[in-house]
Amino acid sequence: MKKNIRSIFQVAAVFIGTIVGAGLASGQEITQFFSTYGYVSFWGILICGLIYIVISSIIVSISLKYKLSSYTEFITLVSPGFFGIITDIFTSFFLISGAAIILAGSGALLHQYFGISKWIGILLMSIISLYTLLKDTKGLIAINSFIVPALTTIIITIFVLYLVFYKDMISASYIKQIPSYKINIIPAQWFFSTLLYAGFNMLCCSGVLVPISEEIKRKRVLITGVIIGSLGLTLLCYLINIMLLLNIPQIFKYEIPLLYITNRFGRLMQILLLCVIWFEMFSTEVSDIYSVGKTLEKKFNISYKKAVFIILMVALPISQIGFRNLIKVLYPGFGAISLIFLVQCIIFYRKTTKKQN
């Protein structure tokens, strides 16, 4: 029983750690995908949480049923044919580029706030990631078991401080009046933004959910873990969203909106938030390389450790292309592919379930 409870919370921590990343921890992703739509953003976050629960449960069920061990096997099974090949290639490219972006971001973050060389930040992230990755799945679980509670503690602390010092500003009636700051090109654009964000995260998360399902093998433990992870993530997003909405439109000027909010609570809180953002970068870096490493191991019959070294060697030069250039090319295309793939997952799961019945 104790072992099951521990495993459930480990799965929840890995799930949260894989999705969060620096974008969510900094408040930037919540700002772009949700807060800019005003009060309706709360509905978007709730729908996103429900999608996480449904799709994660489907990924776990399919992985266990067909004894899958990598996202490539999962994609090939759910989407055989040309689109599956495109999805597989794009996912691998995206995860490697994501690892490269994080290396660049780590260097930029430490350079911007501590004045040290960017290369020190890049090498530090590379070395610590490599050390963790060589421990395989145990390393992935260990770092998220530490980072996720730290993230949760910091976000809740910032929110409580905001409640204490700015309680007069926080009211449901005021938040309801906050308008959308995004030009709605299509009707209910907030809903499409929610689907795009959820789909994008779920396809990335499959790279971790599939191999961890093979490792743990207990369906009830895995699904309970992803449900707790989804609920925890939804709560964190709600807290961040409340603070962001109360600071619109000022937050649009900053790359790290949550840092602007934390600024009023002193330098210590700022440094703690920056540490959490860096560790979330680290968590995502490990998750991305782990996902591709497991795929290369199965696909090309090379050792997992060798695969990890290859990915890092490829990611280092890509990190010099620049954050914005990579994001402009990758995010829109990957978002569209991930949405189509999620629909295919649901169709495949329903078909296989009906056949059993």
Tokens, residue 333: 């295309």
Residue 324 confidence (pLDDT): 53
248: exposed, middle or buried (Cβ count in 10 Å: 0-12, 13-18, 19+): middle
Per the structure, the count of domains in the chain is 1
Residue 43, in any domain of the structure: yes
Work out the pLDDT band at 172, boundaries 50, 70, 90.
Answer: confident
Residue 149, in any domain of the structure: yes
CATH number at residue 233: 1.10.4160.10
- Mean pLDDT value across residues 85-97: 85
Question: What distance in Å separates the CA atoms of residue 4 and residue 6, rounded to the nearest whole number?
Answer: 5
Work out the pLDDT band at 311, boundaries 50, 70, 90.
Answer: very high
Residue 225 confidence (pLDDT): 96
- Mean pLDDT value across residues 81-98: 84
- For tokens 């921590």, name the residue: 13
Question: What distance in Å separates the CA atoms of residue 15 and residue 1, rounded to the nearest whole number?
Answer: 21
- For tokens 């969060």, name the residue: 20
- Mean pLDDT value across residues 90-115: 80
Q: Which domain holds residue 332?
A: 2-352
The winner for highest mean pLDDT among 157-166, 225-234, 278-287 is 225-234
- For tokens 């729908």, name the residue: 47
Residue 133, in any domain of the structure: yes
Percentage of the chain modeled with pLDDT above 70: 93
Residue 155, in any domain of the structure: yes
Question: What distance in Å separates the CA atoms of residue 335 and residue 194, rounded to the nearest whole number?
Answer: 11
Residue 54, in any domain of the structure: yes
Residue 176, in any domain of the structure: yes
Residue 308 confidence (pLDDT): 93
Is 221 a residue whose pLDDT tops 90? yes
The size of the chain, in residues, is 357
Residue 357, in any domain of the structure: no
Q: Select from 28, 23, 24 the least CA-distant residue to 236.
A: 24
Residue 298 confidence (pLDDT): 83
Residue 356 confidence (pLDDT): 65
Cα 107 to Cα 62, 118, 135, 282, 328, distances in angstroms? 38, 4, 24, 12, 20
Residue 1 confidence (pLDDT): 67
Residue 224 confidence (pLDDT): 96
Phi–psi pair at 116, nearest 5 degrees: -95, 160
Residue 303, in any domain of the structure: yes
pLDDT digits (tens, 9 = 90+) for 35-89: 999 999 999 999 999 999 999 999 999 999 999 988 889 999 998 888 888 888 8
Cα four-point dihedral sign 62, 65, 71, 73: negative
